[in-house]
Amino acid sequence: MTSDRVSVPLTPAVFHILFALATGDKHGYEIAKQVAEDSQGQVSMGTGTLYGSIKRMLADGLIEQAENRPAPELDDERRRYYRLTAEGRRALHAEVQRYARVVAVAQDRDLLAPA
């Protein structure tokens, strides 16, 4: 279970950002690209949603700004990189477990069979 600061279910934007960061540190544009890839193009995150969510997630302790950056010649110094915190990993794990329970019930009810 997550702490008192973060409740499950997570908003879709928060879930997708945490899910994208589960594979490593990313800057905003990388997060948006990863979300689009993970969702097979079904979720497109605009800059307002992305950076508004990042701001709230930083305040909630779900993510933090990463200190390690690529070599300067490989990166734009204006980019900020983000990573999951332990709290963010716990929240993501709780949400994925919640989804797994929903999928198990859907399977039991034959709701995942082709229509």
User: What pLDDT score was predicted for residue 1?
Assistant: 42
**pLDDT greater at residue 25 or residue 78:** 25
92 burial (CB, 10 Å; 0-12 / 13-18 / 19+) is buried
Q: Name the packing angle between helices 47-60 and 28-38 (round to 10°).
A: 110
- pLDDT cut 90: percent of the chain above it: 77
Residue 94's pLDDT is what?
95
Give the mean model confidence (pLDDT) for residues 60-66: 96
- The DSSP bridge partners found for residue 92 are none
Q: Report pLDDT digits (tens) over 67-111.
A: 876 665 666 777 899 999 999 999 999 999 999 999 999 999 999
Residue 57 vs residue 76, higher pLDDT = 57
Residue 10: pLDDT over 60: yes
8 Å CB contact between 8 and 59: no
Task: Tell me what the pLDDT averaged over the chain comes to.
Answer: 89
In the predicted model, is pLDDT for residue 2 greater than 50?
Answer: no
Identity (one letter) of the amino acid at 3?
A: S
